[in-house]
């Protein structure tokens, strides 16, 4: 799928990987509706982007744990831009089902959910995070490093990826139609690895 003129819905778009993805997509010619609980950063980011690329972004206050707010983000995106082609990024089964309904209206699209290696290889220094689902130095990781010396030590020892490297993987998934129900793994040794499909 070509990114230019496509409409993308992103959750968690005010900071970190989400915000970088919002900027990258808009710089590539997409229209983006993004939601987040951080209204201040979200509104500021949308304002900045609309100054540079007129009518390219809308920010909608959206807590992904609230189905109605999540639905509202989609409705606002559709109302503003007329359609939705790509939905990313929180891992949320119900969210994916809602995304499918909206994408189907215009013949399909791309859905990307963000997981974490901590979900695959449970990480002893971050048990709660691992259970729910490392390292890109986003606000989330910086906060965890400050609060947990063990976490900081592991990050120092193993290093981090750049946000660009992670966002490039998102762009690759959107642009390459051969990826279908695939898992893409991004690590320092292999920036883009498509994992073999699991047999269900």
Residue numbers of the site for ligand NAD (CB under 6 A)? 11-12, 14-18, 36-38, 62-65, 90, 114, 116, 133-136, 138-141
Q: How far is the CB of 143 from ligand NAD (least distance, A)?
A: 7
Rounded CA-CA distance 96/86 in Å is: 11
Helix (H) or strand (E) holding 31: strand 31-36
150/177 with CB nearer ligand NAD: 150
Cα separation, 102 vs 86, in Å, equals 10
Q: Which residue has the CB atom at the shortest distance from ligand NAD?
A: 16
Sequence-distant (6+) residues with CB within 8 A of 165 are 186, 191
Of residues 93 and 200, the one with the C-beta less far from ligand NAD: 93
Q: Which is nearer to ligand NAD, 30 or 112 (CB)?
A: 112
Smallest distance from ligand NAD to CB 194, Å: 17
Coil/strand/helix, residue 194: strand
- Give me the least distance between CB of 27 and ligand NAD, in Å please: 18
Nearer to ligand NAD, 2 or 131 (CB): 131
Q: In the complex, what is the shortest distance from the CB of residue 112 to ligand NAD, in angstroms, rounded to a whole number?
A: 11
Q: Which residue's CB is nearer to ligand NAD, number 14 or number 24?
A: 14
The helix-helix angle for 163-175 and 16-27 (nearest 10°) equals: 50
Least distance CB 54 / ligand NAD (angstroms): 24
Run of H or E including 81: helix 67-81
In this structure, the number of other CB atoms found within 10 A of the CB of residue 159 comes to 9
Q: Which residues fall within 8 angstroms of residue 5, CB to CB, at 6 or more apart?
A: 29, 30, 31
């Amino acid at each position: 799928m070509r990114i230019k003129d496509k409409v993308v819905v992103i959750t968690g778009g005010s900071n970190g990987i989400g915000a970088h993805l919002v900027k990258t997509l808009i710089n590539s010619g997409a229209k983006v509706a993004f939601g987040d609980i951080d209204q201040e950063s979200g509104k500021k980011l949308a304002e900045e982007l609309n100054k540079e690329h007129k009518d390219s972004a809308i920010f909608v206050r959206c807590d992904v744990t609230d189905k109605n707010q999540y639905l509202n983000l989609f409705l606002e995106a559709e109302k503003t831009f007329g359609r939705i082609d790509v939905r990313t990024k929180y891992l949320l089964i119900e969210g994916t089902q809602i995304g499918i309904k909206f994408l189907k209206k215009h013949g399909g699209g791309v859905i990307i959910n963000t997981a974490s290696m901590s979900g695959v290889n449970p990480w002893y220094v971050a048990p709660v995070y691992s259970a729910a689902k490392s390292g890109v130095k986003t606000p989330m990781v910086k906060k965890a490093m400050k609060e947990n010396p063990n976490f900081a030590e592991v990050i120092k020892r193993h290093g981090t990826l750049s946000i660009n490297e992670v966002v490039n993987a998102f762009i690759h998934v959107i642009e390459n139609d051969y990826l279908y129900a695939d898992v893409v793994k991004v690590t320092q040794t292999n920036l883009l690895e498509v994992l073999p499909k699991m047999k269900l």
